[in-house]
Amino acid sequence: MTTGDADVSGILRNLGEQLSEVEILQSMYPGDGELELSQPAILDDINQYLEKQEVLPDRVELSLRLKIDECTGDLEAIFSLPREYPEAAFPTLYIRSDSFSRESQATINQDVRAFMERELVKGEPAVIAIISWIQEHADKYVYRQNDDSKMPTKAAKVESSGRFSRYWIYSHHIYSKIKRKNILDMSREYDVTGFCLPGKPGILCIEGDEKNCSDWWSVVRNWNWKRLSLKIIEEEEGEVEGKRIFQGFCEIGEVKSGSRDYHMDMGQFQTFLDQQ
């Protein structure tokens, strides 16, 4: 068997395992909005590849909403399954809930990664075990109004660092609907303004309080990216609101449906910048 044959054989095994695991999850969470695939046709794409080995499908990305007793709303777990999973890699994962403070949300994401490294074994499906860990432990991270720790909620005003920052970030591409939704949601959570330019390449710009920008970046950089780099940091002393150039956070344009090599119209991008 050649190296190329071995690579294809490994991909086939991994995709077969991923397909089975997602189908089990669909049977476990059949409710409306419980489990969502970033690309609804991805399972058909995997089946096609398993049969013909022609077009390699994109990685599986899914969002799972869980009911946790202590959470006032749903807990959302966002999974991305690398092609090397489960044989040689773990899923990448991000957990979020309105019932978490910013600090506890960061902590649960650190702790679940530690659990994966400590308890799980590469070569075996892991998503269901991770979900079980979340269901068992999530209530420990929920903010409680009368908790003696008095951790601030996400809605609470974070004390300003007194410094303004603007980050310019380059990505090889930004296609994933789940990533793009989370980027938009997190702009509100961390009170940053700016934009997301999806497509290939992808460009992100965030601005706001220095600590908020740093905390936002520490989360986003740990998602699964082909290539993501922080190109420019602009920093200034003084009141943050007067230094912003963007009103809110928005996505510029849209990725054409079905296209995975869509290049953004740079003229449209320049027009957007000129309007700020």
Please report the pLDDT score of residue 201 as a whole number. Answer: 87
Residues sharing a CB contact under 8 Å with residue 104, sequence separation 6 or more, in sequence order: 141, 142, 143, 151
Distance separating alpha carbons of residues 25 and 39, to the nearest angstrom: 16
Task: Mark out the alpha helices in the chain (DSSP H runs).
Answer: 3-28, 42-52, 102-119, 127-137, 177-189, 210-220, 266-274
Please report the pLDDT score of residue 74 as a whole number. Answer: 82
Please report the pLDDT score of residue 70 as a whole number. Answer: 64
Distance separating alpha carbons of residues 229 and 238, to the nearest angstrom: 27
**Predicted confidence pLDDT, tens digits, the chain (276 residues):** 343 555 888 899 999 999 999 999 999 999 988 999 988 899 999 999 999 888 899 889 999 999 887 666 789 999 999 889 999 999 988 998 888 888 888 899 989 999 999 999 999 999 999 999 999 999 889 865 445 443 433 433 455 667 999 999 999 888 888 888 889 988 988 999 999 989 888 899 999 999 999 989 988 988 878 889 999 999 999 889 999 999 899 998 766 544 455 555 555 656 666 665
Please report the pLDDT score of residue 124 as a whole number. Answer: 92
CA triplet 263, 265, 267: central angle to 5 degrees?
A: 150
Q: Which residues of 151-169 are buried (b: 16+ CB within 10 A; e: fewer)?
A: eeebeeeeeeeeebbbbbb
Is the distance from CB of 249 to CB of 194 less than 8 angstroms?
A: yes
Please report the pLDDT score of residue 156 as a whole number. Answer: 39
Distance separating alpha carbons of residues 185 and 176, to the nearest angstrom: 14
Residue 7 carries which side chain, given as an amino acid letter? Answer: D
